[in-house]
Structure 1
Amino acid sequence: MKTLNKKNLMGIVVILVGILIFLSINGCFVSEKVAAKSGAQLWAENCQRCHNMPSPATFSPDQWETVGMHMQTRALLTKAERDKIVEFLKQ
């Protein structure tokens, strides 16, 4: 009976390690995709899906920082995506 429990535990550990490896590898590919995109591309892809895209001149640079923090949560953006979009809008 104890051997069976150890086998079950070992199987669970192997499965969990496999899942962690998969998720960490997948996360690296997502980061590379974000790094390859410009702030303008990310802005078009993420803002247009919910509303019309505002002109970059609509807000001041400080206001874009605030909008970026708000929209990071609402649009489920990563910090890297938010930073690229805000830098584009502040230009």
Structure 2
Amino acid sequence: MPSPVPLLDLRNLAKAYGPIPVLEGVGFTLWPGEVRCLAGENGSGKSTLIKILSGVIAADAGEVLFDGKRAPKGARAAIAMAFR
């Protein structure tokens, strides 16, 4: 039976560096067993998104849910949650 909760759920993420918006309203859902590719042009925010997911930087807005729970702040806590 498929999981009723996504493994990873990004909702309305936003990040800016000073006056320059890098991510605006980003949403992404990953279900258990899925494999996805993140692709885009240079400067499209791929690295920023991965840094938010890994806890290296914080989003300015939005939320990251891992297995239905709000992802913790910081890289160590994110790694611990992923490998529990």
- Bin for the TM-score computed over the shorter chain: under 0.3
Give the TM-score taking structure 1 as reference length.
0.23
The structure having more radius of gyration, on CA atoms, is 1
Looking at secondary structure, tell me which structure has more strand per residue: 2
More helix by share: 1
